[in-house]
A and B are shown apart, each in its own frame.
Chain A
């Protein structure tokens, strides 16, 4: 996806030692970042890691306690106006005017971007079409679904043709279908318009799908940074977890699964595997052939929890998928 070489082009976003505290609570504890132009950068972390605070600082909404940052070539504290003219922000909570219609929201943005009236109308109509909101354009936003609101929110960000876009948890709370649509839109922005995207997410899959580089944020510190592949290599693979009713059954099963890890206290067996249907069928067939009965089966795919466990030594709330009993 990257066309510009990071070594020659100045980074679209760079930060050095960003710190922010609210009272005794340290939210950001020295963040260094460099995002090359035309790339997608994901800040991955659980709730409360400091993702939103980072976006708020980089988008001039709040001032850092310490540290410096440059966005689009402008210093954040010295030339916030220059930064604001170059960026667009779509927050976690829809920043739309609920009392206006979708079209009026877009025209409001066009006016605030000081576009000529005709150009504003043209862009608003184009964005409504592109985000499939044309039919709902004249209805009040208060009747919109979460997915429509998020699309309108992003459309409003795009009215000003920003070169750098901040997306704070763009798909949190969306259903899987709306999430896919959002991902396609974000990909289109990068490939067709060459914008730089700084996105935050709680989902490894989302970062994996979209980002060129991923940084993992934990309790206000960056604990890892790299491409999705680099990070995944540091994470243990997925596994299928089998639970048995007694130790004898567990022992019997373990003989048929080489490379599986036993947990005698929990009476479980961790069989490495990606959780796909063929892998599952193989496991079930092996159990059948051995005439061993498993109590339950759980599929565990590598997720943020694994990344966190590996990188920080503590996890986020369990996200394993309970499959069957």
Chain B
């Protein structure tokens, strides 16, 4: 068998291992779903009336259509925290050293983690979308727009997962692995997830418009709700692909470094 078939087979084996962990100990997956669902309920019912009144076209209970795409992103960031913790905890297990002394693909361990976490995060995203629709989110997307939105969410999830896998590898304790991705979970708030950026003061607005989450949120909102996308689509794609490449190589290098000590 060729090296490539082995690399694929080993990655699938590692993926099965991670999914089995997730099924047997679902508390982490549950928290990835619970956080954004709480946010969704909070922003729809508690703050929605006041916030919606200040946004053109989002008044009279229509605020959920504005905020839901932003909340969907928060599910992706919650997944990132879970990934970092999961990788960090796994690295403390003796079995990783066993993997290293076996004739298996070097990339398989990380690929298994990243793909496994990405699948869990995407399930969480689907659940959040389901809850949003159940409480009144009414996207007007066509099938093609849905496909594009799903594709974008997959890319974003992969980008965040590779980054957080790297964070998990360089973190010495599961606590720091859980704290380091915190800024990621705040970024959607400092973008256009909850309110439009043009309602913000100049300095913050400049940051909000140029940070990676805003073009992703705007693209998602455009695809699902038919608002204008402009050049946000290309920016979102560039950010996601860029972060996947950077995160991938960073995590791979960090994994090799932990071996040599």
Contacts and interface: CB of A to CB of B under 8 A. Distances in A.
A113 B10 CA distance: 9
Given A61-B259, A62-B261, A111 B13 contact: yes
Q: Which of B6, B98, B104 has the most CB of A within 10 A?
A: B98
B95 A62 contact: no
B13 A62 contact: no
Contacts of A114: 1, 6, 9
Given A61-B97, A84-B103, A160-B102, A99 B259 contact: no
Interface stretch (A30-38, A86-94, A121-129, A273-281): A86-94
A95 B102 contact: no
A85 B101 CA distance: 9
A104 B101 contact: no
Given A89-B101, A95-B98, A104 B20 contact: yes
Given A61-B100, A89-B98, A99 B9 contact: no
Contacts of B98: 89, 91, 95, 156
Given A63-B260, A100-B17, A100-B20, A112 B102 contact: yes
B261 A108 contact: no
B94 interface: yes
Contacts of A22: 261
Interface string B98-142: 111111100000000000000000000000000000000000000
Contacts of B100: 60-61
Nearest to B104: A112
Main secondary structure of the interface of B (DSSP, over half): helix
A81 interface: yes
Interface string B176-197: 0000000000000000000000
A97 B13 contact: no
B106 to A, nearest CB: 10
Given A62-B261, A104-B20, A108-B13, A91 B97 contact: yes
A274 B244 CA distance: 68
A96 interface: yes
A54 interface: no
B45 to A, nearest CB: 38
Interface residues of A, number: 29
Nearest to B24: A99
Interface in B62-101: 93-95, 97-101
A253 B16 CA distance: 72
Contacts of A91: 94, 97-98
A62 B260 contact: yes
Interface in A44-91: 59-63, 81, 84-85, 87-89, 91
B95 A97 contact: yes
Contacts of A108: 13, 17
A95 B17 contact: no
A62 B103 contact: no
Contact of B99 (A85, A88, A100, A112): A112
Given A84-B102, A112-B13, A95 B259 contact: no
A62 B259 contact: yes
Contacts of A89: 97-98, 101
Contacts of A59: 101
Contacts of B95: 95-97
Interface in B1-48: 1, 6, 9-10, 13, 16-17, 20-21, 24-25
A97 B261 contact: no
A28 B190 CA distance: 53
A95 B13 contact: no
A88 B261 CA distance: 21
Contact of A112 (B10, B20, B93): B10
A98 B13 contact: no
Contacts of A62: 259-261
A46 B156 CA distance: 52
Contacts of B16: 111
A160 B245 CA distance: 35
Contacts of A98: 93
A96 B103 CA distance: 17
Contacts of B13: 108, 111-112
A95 B90 CA distance: 11
Contacts of B21: 99-100
Contacts of A84: 101-103
B94 A94 contact: yes
Contacts of A100: 17, 20-21
The 3 A-B pairs of least Cβ separation, nearest first, read A95-B94, A95-B98, A84-B103
Given A61-B100, A112-B13, 5 more contacts: A62-B261, A89-B98, A89-B101, A95-B95, A104-B20
22 contacts: A60-B100, A61-B100, A61-B259, A84-B102, A89-B101, A91-B94, A91-B97, A91-B98, A94-B94, A95-B94, A95-B95, A95-B98, A97-B17, A99-B25, A100-B17, A100-B20, A108-B13, A113-B102, A114-B6, A114-B9, A156-B98, A160-B102
Interface of B: 1, 6, 9-10, 13, 16-17, 20-21, 24-25, 93-95, 97-104, 259-261
